[in-house]
Every structure is written in structure tokens, then in C-alpha cells.
Structure 1
Amino acid sequence: MGLPFKKPVWRGFYFHRELLRNSNQSAIENFFLKNKMPNNLNFLYFDFPSKFTRWKKGSRGVHFYYVLWQWGAYKQVKAIHKEKPFDLVHHITFASVRQPSFMGNLGIPFIFGPVAGGEKAPWRLRFRFGMRGFLLDSIRDVINFFVRFDPFMRMTFKQADRIYVTSYQTKKLIPKGYHKKIKIKLAIGIDKKGLFDSFGEKKLNYNILYIGRFLYWKGMDIGIYAFNKLLKNEPFARLTMVGKGKEKKRWMNLVRKLKIEDRVDWIPWVDRDSISDIFNRHNILLFPSLHDSGGMVVLEAMAHGLPVVCLALGGPGIIVNTLSGKKIPVHGKSIKKIEFELYDAIRYLLPPLSFKRYSQGALHRAKDFTWTKLVSSIYSKPIK
């Protein structure tokens, strides 16, 4: 992403990426029909002819196409740089530690990231994935192992003046010789307009919420077992599952096996206007993801005053602190132990006094992750 500036041009709504694929152009132009465009912001667009874009269809072709796109984008920026020099270049997307950038070849200050991808589910928890999930995660481990040996990635790490990664696990994938350049920084944020000052008169109930894709590594099989334990002591509790995905059938079968169908509600994806209403009808977000690099729903829930119960892994493990929810350490623990601790955390947060304290803590913590603060933290110190 080419970004010429004397001062940060982003002001906390979304990252305005200077160099994008052509398919982004109409969305950007429509946005600025309704919003004022900063005078110091310009967009460049690059894409290959349509006969090449078919390569990006499918999970395998898209990665090859992306590397080609990065090279073509670099060549375009290089030509422009000769006429109108850039001060700095910042690579943002793909936000993957497995995908290189060639922008460091411009010979100007180069920021790489935040990038993700090193988050890893503990082995003992993978036995709940099913055969397909277990195999996919094992393949992912092998691919991640070779990141440190990839010549394109080593070039990227070497040329970068700063490297931002979303977790300590991702940092471990990068050769130690470059660790002095690395800082931990999430690649997600929220708009100030999405923050609330208080949780208002939220009705206290025992409604637990999960929002997200129904995927094997989201950990909701563990979450469902934890909720089942909660019902033994709080029989009026409810769990709402919002989303869709390949694991829906397996999770629904688990709910039937535990005979708790009458306490679990299933809602497909909803539009953003409906999300706030869903948050306001619940008191706790349960999000036991095993390797989420971010966890946008965690920020959104906290911005609505919901304490979060998660695992101490990936992005959620960084976002949630001791005042905004409960994060469960997993290393060295059995699945049964983790299920119990998730249940215990939910039960701890349910009483009115506890909920109000942690709800305020969630609102306060969400303010640490605005786009404005994220951008300012990256550009506050000049690159020497």
C-alpha cells in the first residue's frame, strides 16, 4: 500500500488504503459521495486483466494471485515514486504473516503490518475438531513452520523498518534476528461513534450470546458443554447462536445430544442495524475461539457493555483484561477443565453487582481500541 504523507491522513473510521484493487473503486467513490474526502488523501488502483483474475477464485489460487498482484502493484508505485516521491510505504493487506510485500524495494521507510496467522490451537483441544478440522489445522502448522524459511518473507522482514503482528504466536514465526523491529498490535478497531458511555438500564438476565462463523476452530463445542454445566445451576439461562457455517449441523447435534434444545436459539446472519438490538438483549458474550487473530465481535460486544468470556488465546486474549471479562488460560489443561472454567467464569459474571462492574470495565476497555488510537500509536514515533 503506497502512502505518501507528511502527517497521518487517517482519522479513525477505516484504514483508507491508498493502493487497492479496481473492484474497490466503486465502494470508495460511493462512500465519499456521502462523506467529505480529506484533501491530502489520494487513491491509486491496480489490477490485472480479467483473464488473470480467475486465478483468485478458490482458496489455493487466491494466494498465488495475491503475490502476483503485490508485484504488479509495486511496479506501478515504483513508476509513480520516480515522478512524485513517497515519504513512507505501509503494507496493510493481506494481513497475513505468510504473504510477502515487495514495497520495501522502494528504498523508503517501510512498515509491514499488523499481520496475523501464527495463532495456534493447543494440541489437546484439537481432538474436538473432527477429522477434517484436525487435518486442516495440522496442514496450517506445516505451512506456518516454513514462513521463517520463505525467501520472499525473509526479504520482507529484512526490508521492513517496523513489523506489527497481532499476537505473540505470530511473532514466533518470524526469525529472531528481526524481533527488535516487532510490536504487538491488533489489526482491528472500532469507530468512536460506536462507543457508549454506560450500559444504561440493560435488563439483567441470564442470556448468553455467541456471534461469529460456525467453524471448527471457533471453539463453540467447548462453549456448548460449558453452557450445559451452567444450566445445572441456572436452569433459566439461554444461549443465542448468531451466524452460519459448516459446523452448524455438528453443533446442533451436540445440543440435541445434551437435550438442551429448548435453551438454545439459532439466528442466521443479521444486518448491522439488528446487531445492537441483539447485544442489548444479552448480558455476556461467550467467544471461546482457538486461534482468532482479532475478534471484532469482542470489541463490538464490549462497546455495548457486555463482559466477555473467552480463552487466553489470539486477539480476544489481548483485548479482554481483568476488568472487562474473563479469559481462561488453556495451556496444560484438559478439555474438561477448560469447560468447567468457562462455566465458572460465566456464572461469576451473572450476578447484578458483578455484571455492572464488568460491564463498565468492558465499556472502558473498548475505548482503548478506537481506530484513532490504533493509527496514532503506529505513526506517533517517526522512523529513523
Structure 2
Amino acid sequence: MQQVHPRVLISAYACGPGDEPEAAAGWAFARAAARSHRVHVITRHRFAPAVDAALARDPELARNLTVEYLDLSERLLARKRRSSDVYWYYVLWQRALARRAAELHDAAPFDVGHHVTFANDWLPCGLARVPNLPVVWGPVGGATVVPLNLVRWLGLRGAANELLRGVLTAPLRAAWGDTAARRAAVVVAQNETVARRFRRTGHVVVEPNAALDDLSEHVLPARAQAADADGSDPRPLRAVFVGRLLGLKGGRLAIEALARTPGWELHVYGDGYDRSTLVRLAGRRGVTDRVVFHGHRPRAEVLDAVAGCDAMLFPSMHDQAGWAAAEASALGRPVICLPLGGVPLMAGVNARLARVDGDVVGHLAARLAEAATTPGTPSDRWSTSRLPDVVERLYGTARSGSPAAEASTV
């Protein structure tokens, strides 16, 4: 008798192979689901070339994975000019997605619906409007809040952005996020903070959207701590900071910590509005010769830099997942971080947590100094190979529950 595979409808605003983390996560979840399910993905046209090429190369995957492309009208697309326009466009896209998903579900019912990307818990979930469809919502995140004693490290612009983000997203999370969570058979949270926020609404699990392919090609020989011929000072140890240079990423904290940690240099990969401020701060702290700003670089180059470093210094105050920390951990590098958001979870066994009370800079500096003698261990915790089992459990839980029959509103 021919095996009947459960049918899964995946909503993925971003989905396709490549270096974009959000799209790569959507593609990894879709591929994992297609191992033992008939999967229908709805995403956007911009991912069609990469997706179509990948399916053409893998006929076995193509047998179980159908990808449909959905965009709004050209008139609305033309209005999507700034990066912030993604939010209103996404809300409207979810409405269109809900209509299309309902049509597909009416024509040939699905066993499970899975909302994979965008990973924001304060934006709507179109699948939640489809009646009689068990929904897995997530991974989603966004509920992390910066502790008050760290606000000064955000800078004026960063603090203003954080205040505005909180004012805008809190009511939207209550309206859209809580509604989606109540409707969902399973809520998948990016980190424990988000899980606590939604746990009262139903079944919640923690599983970040990290999906790392094999990084072995980037593994470099261990850096030798070689002393000079006369036994004097060894060459500097190397820390890396990877991320956009925004206040919430903790660049100020990283440079202040470096200034208190002799024998280390910091290589900064990324760009953003805070770069000029960080350059001036390095000058004021007398560490200009120990901080190198590389700007935005190709992912392969950044991975090589991480593989060749002695530690990642990443005191982010807000990352929901933090793929850079997962990549550093996969490459066996210790990650000096704060116990906030998803970075400690992503760093896993290689997390070196600095307390957020008292002298935060001093705590970070101490952890960085310790990393000189306590190297990390390569970890495959966030490998794409884990995802087939992850989605099997999520979909099994969703199908065994009693999903709400009434659709929610977006």
C-alpha cells in the first residue's frame, strides 16, 4: 500500500537558498518538512530563481515540495521604497496569504499549517485566519526588553529607537501576537523570554530559526599564542564582533570591555549608524590601534574571521536568536555575551555569560580575559540536520490537538 504523507501548508515571507538568514531559515524548514510530508510553500517572487534552480537540481525534493509565489499589486510594490516599508507591506501580504491559503485548504485540506517567517511576534499570522487548520506559529520573537540599567549603553538614538519600538509593538503584540498564539496549536518561540510571554496562551516550545549548513570549510588551524624570542609579550589575542552597528547590538560595551582587557584586539564586522560613534569611543579609550573596523563583508569572509579568532565578543541587548553566535559556537569559539534574548541559547555550550548587574563592562572584560585560557568546543546543535525531527514533533503535536475551528482576524 502506498504511504500517505501528511499535507503541510507553509507560509514563508522569505524562503530560498542563500546567505539571507531569514530566507535560509524558511528554506531549511521547508526542506526538512518535505522529508516526510507533502509540502506546499507560499513565498514571494523574489526567491523564485534560487528556489526553482534548487528544485531542478533535486528531483526527489521537488516531488514533495511545491512552491507558490505571491506578491501584492505592482502599485503597492512600487510604494515599497524604504526598509521600514516592509512592515505595512507584510501586514497586507499576510491578508493576501490568508485568502490564498483558505482557497487551497478548501480545495484540498491540509493536515497542518506552519507560519515560518517573518520571525516577529507582534505582526499578523495569515494562517491563523484559516478555519479548521491546525497551525504551528513560529519560530517567532520580539518580546525581549532591554534592562533599564543598560539603556545608557544604547546611545541617544538607540534609546529613542528602543522606546519607540516598545510603544509601537506592545499593543500590536497584544492584538496580533496574542491572537495568533491563542489560535495556534503550537507556538514556537525563538528564546525563553518569548516563551514566557506566550506560555499562558497554550502549548509553547523553544526552538530558534537557526539552520546552519556544514561550516567545516571555514575551520582554520588553531591560533598559536607565540611569545617573542626573548619571552616578552605574545601577539594579541583576537576577538570578533559581528552584527549591524546599532545601539542595541552592544558595540559600546564591546569597546569598553576591550579597553579593560590588555592583550586583546577587536575586529568589527558590520556597519550601521553607530560606526562613527564607536570609532570616536575607541579613540577616547586609547584602543584605536586594537580595534579594526572591517565594515560589511561577505559571509564567507566573516566566517573565516570567526574561525580564526579566539573569542566572539557579542554583548547584544536584544537579539532574538543571533545567528552569528550560533556560527561561532559551531566553529568552537567561546561567545562572551549577556544573559538576554536568544544569544546565550544560540551560543550554547560556548556561551560565556556576563552579569548585567553592577559593573557590566567589568563582567564582560573578565569573561573575555578568561577566554584566553578556556577555548570553546565545536557544536552542531543548530545544524540543519536536526530540523526533520523538529518539524516531525511540531506537526505531530499540532495534529494531535484540537485546533480552534474559528478563524482569527488579522
TM-score band by shorter chain is 0.7 to 0.9
SS class of match (1:208): strand
State the one-letter code of the partner of 2:239. Answer: I
Is 1:291 the counterpart of 2:318? The answer is yes
Residue of structure 2 in register with 1:155 after alignment: 179
Is 1:228 the counterpart of 2:259? The answer is yes
Note if contact 1:226-1:339 (Cα within 8 Å) is conserved in structure 2.
Answer: yes
**CA distance 1:101–1:5, change in 2 (3 Å):** farther
In structure 1, C-alpha distance between the alignment counterparts of 2:46 and 2:67, rounded to whole Å: 13
Give the alignment of 1:151-190 within 5 angstroms: 152-174=176-198, 177-178=200-201, 180-190=202-212
In structure 2, C-alpha distance between the alignment counterparts of 1:36 and 1:282, rounded to whole Å: 40
Is 1:215 the counterpart of 2:251? The answer is no
1:190-238: CA deviation from partner (whole Å, max 9, x where unpaired):
12x225898754434611111111111011101111100002xx3xx21
Residue of structure 2 in register with 1:122 after alignment: 147
Give the alignment of 1:126-141 within 5 angstroms: 126-141=151-166
Note if contact 2:115-2:125 (Cα within 8 Å) is conserved in structure 1.
Answer: yes
Note if contact 1:287-1:308 (Cα within 8 Å) is conserved in structure 2.
Answer: yes
Note if contact 1:210-1:241 (Cα within 8 Å) is conserved in structure 2.
Answer: yes
One of 304, 320, 340 as aligned partner of 1:313: 340
In structure 2, C-alpha distance between the alignment counterparts of 1:197 and 1:64, rounded to whole Å: 38
Residue of structure 2 in register with 1:238 after alignment: 265
Residue of structure 2 in register with 1:145 after alignment: 170
Instruction: For residue 63 of structure 1, report the CA deviation from its aligned partner.
Output: 1.9
In structure 2, C-alpha distance between the alignment counterparts of 1:221 and 1:201, rounded to whole Å: 28
State the one-letter code of the partner of 1:283. Answer: D
1:82-120: CA deviation from partner (whole Å, max 9, x where unpaired):
222211110011111011113132312111001011111
One of 305, 310, 331 as aligned partner of 1:304: 331
In structure 1, C-alpha distance between the alignment counterparts of 2:185 and 2:287, rounded to whole Å: 53
Residue of structure 1 in register with 2:88 after alignment: 64
1:335-371: CA deviation from partner (whole Å, max 9, x where unpaired):
xx111111111111102xx22xxx22xx1xx311112
Is 1:373 the counterpart of 2:381? The answer is no
Give the alignment of 1:311-350 within 5 angstroms: 311-321=338-348, 323-330=349-356, 333-334=357-358, 337-350=359-372
Note if contact 1:195-1:367 (Cα within 8 Å) is conserved in structure 2.
Answer: no
In structure 1, C-alpha distance between the alignment counterparts of 2:218 and 2:164, rounded to whole Å: 44
Is 1:14 the counterpart of 2:28? The answer is yes
**CA distance 1:247–1:41, change in 2 (3 Å):** same
Instruction: For residue 148 of structure 1, report the CA deviation from its aligned partner.
Output: 5.1
**CA distance 1:258–1:293, change in 2 (3 Å):** same
- With structure 1 as the length reference, what TM-score do the two structures score? 0.85
Q: Give percent identity, aligned residues only.
A: 22
Identify unmatched segments of 5+ residues in structure 2.
11-23, 31-39, 226-235, 401-410
State the one-letter code of the partner of 1:302. Answer: S
**CA distance 1:99–1:247, change in 2 (3 Å):** same
In structure 1, C-alpha distance between the alignment counterparts of 2:49 and 2:295, rounded to whole Å: 28
Residue of structure 2 in register with 1:32 after alignment: 55
- With structure 2 as the length reference, what TM-score do the two structures score? 0.80
Note if contact 1:280-1:304 (Cα within 8 Å) is conserved in structure 2.
Answer: yes
In structure 2, C-alpha distance between the alignment counterparts of 1:199 and 1:310, rounded to whole Å: 23
Residue of structure 1 in register with 2:120 after alignment: 96
**CA distance 1:35–1:203, change in 2 (3 Å):** farther
Instruction: For residue 263 of structure 1, report the CA deviation from its aligned partner.
Output: 1.2
In structure 2, C-alpha distance between the alignment counterparts of 1:31 and 1:378, rounded to whole Å: 21
In structure 1, C-alpha distance between the alignment counterparts of 2:9 and 2:132, rounded to whole Å: 22
**CA distance 1:18–1:140, change in 2 (3 Å):** same
In structure 2, C-alpha distance between the alignment counterparts of 1:305 and 1:157, rounded to whole Å: 36
Instruction: For residue 27 of structure 1, report the CA deviation from its aligned partner.
Output: 2.3
1:39-93: CA deviation from partner (whole Å, max 9, x where unpaired):
1110111111210123433355322221211111121122222222211110011
Residue of structure 1 in register with 2:35 after alignment: none
In structure 1, C-alpha distance between the alignment counterparts of 2:253 and 2:338, rounded to whole Å: 11
Is 1:250 the counterpart of 2:277? The answer is yes
1:117-157: CA deviation from partner (whole Å, max 9, x where unpaired):
1111111111122222111111212233324541x434322
RMSD value over aligned CA atoms? 2.7
